[in-house]
Each structure stands twice: as C-alpha cells, then as structure tokens.
Amino acid sequence: MSRQIATLLSMTATTVDAARSEGSGQLRVHIPHPASDEALAHLKNHLDPCICVTTGDENLEPDLDVLVQGRPSLEQLALYHNLKALIIPYAGVPAETRTLLMEAYPKLPVYNLHHNAVAASELALALFLAAAKTLIPVDRKFRAHDWRSRYGGAPIMLLEGKTAVILGFGAIGSRLATLCLALGMQVHVVRRQIGKQYPEPIIAHSLDELPSLLPMANALFIALPLTPKTEGLIGANEISLLSPSCVLVNIARGAVVDEQALYQALKEKRIAAAGIDVWYNYPQSPGSRASTPPSQFPFHKLENVVMSPHRGGAFQLQELERQRMSDLASTLNAISRGEAIPHRVDLHAGY
C-alpha cells in the first residue's frame, strides 16, 4: 500500500494555487452519499452563504475544502489536494479509514458528528431499566396469563442509592451520567483524560482505577469508542470482578467486551443481567438481515439479557437526518468562520 500511496501523492503534487475558482472566499464541501432532498435542504438552510455544497459521485472537482464521508478511498483523497478537513458523518472512525489516514494523511483534520448521542443514551437507559427490572421475561409470561412473577422469581433492582460506573464520558456517557443522577444513583465515570472539572456529584477516574471500581458497580455502562486500546478492555478478568448484582449495558461496540466471558457470566448468573445493543456478528447483505445470529453464543436463550439489534443511534428517519444535517451545518459553519470546531478526532487515540 505504501508504494500506491507514494504514487498517488506524487500525481497530486501539482500546483495548489491554480485550482480555486471564482469564489475565493467560498468553502467548498462535497457529500458523495447525501441524504434525502428534504435533509439536504435542511442543511443548506442552516449554512453560511459562503459554503457551497455538492453531492453525488459524478463531476468531482479537485478544488475541494471539506469531504463528508466515513470511508473515503485513497484515490478520492489524492484527488482533493486542497482538502482542509474530513468529516465522518457519525460517531467513531472506521478502522480502515483510520489506517488510511495514519499512513497517507496523518495531518488532515478529521471530525465526527454526534447527532445521535441523545438517542443512544436514551436506549442505553431503556436497556438498563428493562434488564434491572426483569421486564422482558415477565412480559412474556404474563402474556400467557402467568402471574407468578409477581410473587417471586423475577428480581427487581432498586436503583436509588446504587452505583453506576460509566466507561467513557463523551457525548453519550455524559448524558448517561445525568440520567443516572436523576435516578438517585451514585455516578463514577472512567475516561482517558480526567484533568478537568466534572459537575458534582460525578466522580471521575482514570482507566488505571477500573479494577477497583468494577466490584462496586451495580450498573456498568460501556460508552467508549472501539480502538486498539479498548478492544477487549472488559475481558474475563474484569467481568470476574463484577458483583452478582451488576447489570452490564453495552451501547458502544461489541468488541470492547469479551464475547465468551460475557456469555458465560450471564449463563452462570455471576452477574445479574445485561442490556446489549452492539454485537459480534452482523448481516453481510440485505438478504441476510432476517436470519443472522448476533453472536456465536446463544445469548437469545438467556432470560437475563435484553437484546437490541444496534439501534442506539436510531430514531424516526426524517428527524434523524435533520439532526445529522444540523450537526453537520454547525461543524461546517465553524470551519468557515475560523471558530473552534467540535468533535476533532485524535487519529492516534482512535477517536
């Protein structure tokens, strides 16, 4: 790949100054895969007049300032030799994109959008409540007119006064902290950088403190990005430190938690329950969406698991796209105005 990179970079090393056409003050933005016409109109209505947006895969001009795409190719990036920024139109950085940028364009500024953080945190809370209150198995039995769960056999966790540990304190984790505080829980957050002020009574910890936090967690929320350092972060040893009363909720990425260790702990009831929205196996084609198991292990047979097919960032489609376009407009306006730009990605850290 290095030889291909060198060849393409040399091909695009021609003059940079000649390409900027009539609107020298314009910010030129291209979206290869645009949303609906309604969402695109919403975007343009919220942009500064000096921002020019083009869409589609045809008529690509090399005089481009910002590319909005999650998985750009090397050829695309080499074409845009004036590129000032890449915006990934969702949270996280695909592994192949990170590798490409680290090798070929390590200084190119990269930004995320976090328009779905509210929806993801709401679903995480819903999974937690459903698991902590044993709602799903009780519902199934009561539909058959079975009242026995009212009289025992279906544990219900009282949340007030309990301890929530939240891994990751970004757009999703910070909202989860607020929601847990509203439930009367004690909140501890774990993040890479803790050298800032946190609203009381939230207590912040470094990752080194995780082993001492896990035994006290009645709720463990996983809301951090998947990076080389976080893959397998919650392994068999970490799960063994959790108490039998703990409910684990993963709203981040499946690979952050060891698949087999989590399954065995739930099957053997070494932890109370789990709410899982992110998985280990995904459909590879539209035709396989109706019959793809999310794991090599039968989580679906366990009554102490609430399962969701990666719907954390989903809500009504039109509203979702409007939110995405509003977030994109804010980012583009900040770039155009020379203001502080939100959600800068640290390629070395992976998020």
Q: Tell me how far apart the alpha carbons of residues 83 and 70 are, in angstroms, rounded to a whole number.
A: 15
- Binned at pLDDT 50, 70 and 90, residue 58 comes out as low
**Range with the poorest average pLDDT among 18-22, 120-124, 146-150:** 18-22
- What's the maximum distance between 2 C-alpha atoms anywhere in the chain? 78
Q: Where exactly does CATH 3.40.50.720 map onto the chain?
A: 2-115+318-337, 117-307
Q: Tell me how far apart the alpha carbons of residues 344 and 113 are, in angstroms, rounded to a whole number.
A: 9
Q: Rounded mean pLDDT of 52-62? A: 82
Judge: domain 117-307, CATH 3.40.50.720: yes
pLDDT of residue 65: 96
Beta-strand relationship, 27-31 and 51-55: parallel
pLDDT in tens, 276-290: 999 999 999 999 999
- Binned at pLDDT 50, 70 and 90, residue 153 comes out as confident
For the chain, what is the total number of helices (H) and then of strands (E)?
Answer: 11, 12
Contact 321, 64 (CB under 8 A): no
CA 194-311-329 angle, 5° bins: 65
User: Left (φ > 0), alpha (ψ -120 to 50) or beta: where does 269 sit?
Assistant: left
pLDDT of residue 11: 38
pLDDT in tens, 174-202: 999 999 999 999 999 999 877 777 788 99
According to CATH, the superfamily of the domain at 2-115+318-337 is NAD(P)-binding Rossmann-like Domain (3.40.50.720)
Residue 257 DSSP one-character state: B
- Binned at pLDDT 50, 70 and 90, residue 212 comes out as very high
